[in-house]
Structure 1
C-alpha cells in the first residue's frame, strides 16, 4: 500500500504531500484544514481516505502510469454537490443534471488529472462535504475549494506509485 501524507505548510492553503519516494508542495482548501468539514466551507478535511479512482481528460492527457482504477472523463460527467439531492450527493452524475453539481470536464485544466478520494462516500451524509479530490494545481498555486492539488509532474510521480490500496492521510502537522 502507498500512503500519501499531507501536512500543512506555510500559510493556511499550502501543504506538503509526502510518500516513501519523495515530498512535493501542494495546495489545500481556502478554508485551511478542518476536522468538521461542511459543504461549501472551502476547507480540506482532516483524516485518512482511500484513493478510489483516477479520471483523466483523454483529449489532453494519455492514460497515466498507475495501478489505480482509471477512467477517461467525458463532457457529460459531473459531480453532485447538492445536499438536497441525497441519493446522488457526493456521487458522479451524468449531465444534464438538475440538482447542484460541478462539471468534471473543465476548461481550466484542473481536472485533466483528478483522483476521487474516499471522503464522505460510504455512504455520503448530505452536508458533510463533497467532491474532495486530488487534482492539478492552479498555475499561481491558489487555494482549492477543499481538495489537495499538485503540479502535473509531481502528481504523475505520485500516481506512478499508487494502487487500489493507496490512501491519503491529511493531518495538521
Structure 2
C-alpha cells in the first residue's frame, strides 16, 4: 500500500529555519560569553549615560530660560533659581565626565576585541648576523671593478653589422 501523505517542503524548510534560529540563540555567545556580557554592560552604560546627559542638559536649559523670564525685582526666586542652576550645571558636568569615561571603556573594548593576536617576536640578531656574514663572503668572492666604464665595456657585446 502506498503512503499518500506528502511531505510539505515549506513546512520542512520552516522547521530547518527554526532549528537554525534556536541554535544561534543558544550558541551566539558561547565562544566568548564574557565578551558578550562586557559588550552588553558597556552598551547599557553608554545608553544610560547619554540619557543622563540629555536630562541634565534639558534641566540646565529650562532653568536658564526660567531665569531669563523671571522679574528682575524678585530676588528670592532669582537666588533659588541660581542655586538650582548651579546644582544642575554640576550634575551636567558629572554626567559628561561619566559619559566620557564610559566612551573610553568602549573604545578600549573595541580595540581589544578587534586587535589581531600578538605576533611572536622574531629573532633579529641571528638573521642580522647571518646577513652580515653573507655580505662579507660576497665581498671576498667578487672583486669590485674600479669604475662603471669598465663594468659597462666588459658587458657590452659587439652587434653584427647587417648593412655592410
TM interval, short-chain normalised? under 0.3
- Which of the pair is proportionally richer in helix? 2
> Which structure has more RCO (C-alpha within 8 Å, separation ≥ 6)?
1
